[in-house]
Chains A and B, each alone.
Chain A
């Protein structure tokens, strides 16, 4: 079945770097745009970034622009989030997600991974 599995979370010091991965299975990964959404402890959902199906275009939230980079390897069916110059406010559960049906619109995410936890702390 359609699945997304995030990995790569952990504890990182402020100013450090981390790379998250999202492994896709059960669908044609290269046909879909992909999102990262995060949730700080006890807080609401915050959209982070989006990449088009062929990797040709990316968009970022202002809070991460210039520090985070989204990328994908369609041959490996894997989405990435490179996190640089991390801050304590980047501490969150990071989800990858996408809209599996054209009728939902590219931003209507109906498939979500289970999330991976990033903790930024000294």
Chain B
């Protein structure tokens, strides 16, 4: 199974400041079709997960442009350029290259 490792596990950010989350996979997530099957989700308190980023760097429909994803191979990063109060929750990276699908442990973001 592909192991997904996120750091840090928690973040406390002042509104308007940036935030960055790292995700490392135990093997490359690049498929032979040229796509990278790395996703980022946000689970707000009491809600179901919502998709933020697909293919490592493509912003999903309706996601604010302060969210960006980058990376390749086994190293990926989610950045929030200016954190807002509504961004609180737990962020997960997920690989969809091979079954079983696996998630990172989650990174809890709170507002200072």
Contact = CB atoms under 8 A, between A and B. Distances in A.
What 6 pairs across the A-B complex have the smallest Cβ distances?
A107-B96, A47-B101, A112-B48, A110-B51, A44-B106, A45-B103
Interface of A: 35, 37, 44-47, 50, 59, 61-62, 95, 103-110, 112-115
8 contacts: A35-B101, A44-B103, A44-B106, A45-B49, A45-B103, A47-B101, A95-B49, A105-B55
B60 to A, nearest CB: 6
A112 B44 CA distance: 13
Contacts of A109: 49, 51
Given A50-B101, A95-B48, A114-B48, 15 more contacts: A35-B101, A37-B49, A44-B90, A44-B105, A45-B41, A45-B106, A50-B99, A105-B55, A105-B96, A107-B37, A107-B99, A108-B39, A108-B54, A109-B49, A113-B48
A45 B101 CA distance: 10
A35 B48 CA distance: 14
Contacts, number: 58
B48 A107 contact: no
Given A44-B92, A95-B48, A114-B48, A105 B37 contact: yes
Interface of B: 35, 37, 39, 41, 43, 48-51, 54-55, 60, 90, 92, 94, 96, 99-106
Contact of A62 (B37, B49, B96, B100): B100
B48 A105 contact: no
Contacts of B105: 44
Contacts of B90: 44
A61 B100 CA distance: 6
